[in-house]
Amino acid sequence: MDLVRDVLDKKLIDRENCPMGRVDGLVMHVGERSQPTITHIEIGGTTPWMRLHPAIARLAARLARMWGPKRGEPVKIPWSRVMTVGKDIKLDVRAKDTGALDWEIWIARHIIERIPGGGHEEEE
């Protein structure tokens, strides 16, 4: 599998086919005597911004501390949870449990739902 071509930046969906962002980064374990292996997928946090420039990542981190769900660290999903890798990557998790939708839920509750007609995030 070509990690950059087949995994990085791909869309992630959970076991209920709910979108949960994109693969912003990959964590690899480089052992002393073993082949490097992927251990985790990273979503959000400063991970994508680090790919642009460290200064942008620091700015993003500072903004995230002041505003929003106050989640500093990226969401880490163990590689063992990957079910299929195709056009999208399907994960054996529930999106809401992972923290990948923290920003979505925060903006829905604090901004969107306060505007008339916004609806409710929890409604089905």
Q: Which stretch binds other proteins (CB under 8 A): 20-28, 33-41, 58-66, 74-82?
A: 20-28
Of 35 and 55, the one with the shorter C-beta distance to other proteins is: 55
| 75 three-class SS | strand
When asked if residue 117 is in the footprint of other proteins (CB under 8 A), the reply is: yes
Kind and range of the H or E run holding 90: strand 89-91
Of 17 and 34, the one with the shorter C-beta distance to other proteins is: 17
Q: Which stretch binds other proteins (CB under 8 A): 17-25, 31-39, 59-67, 72-80?
A: 17-25
Interactions with other proteins, residue window 54-113 (CB under 8 A): 87, 103-105, 107-108, 111-113
Write down the least CB distance from residue 35 to other proteins, Å. Answer: 24
Interactions with other proteins, residue window 24-53 (CB under 8 A): 24, 48, 51-52
Minimal CA–CA distance to 101: which of 10, 5, 20? 20
Binding site for other proteins (CB under 8 A): 4, 8-12, 19-22, 24, 48, 51-52, 87, 103-105, 107-108, 111-113, 115, 117-121, 123
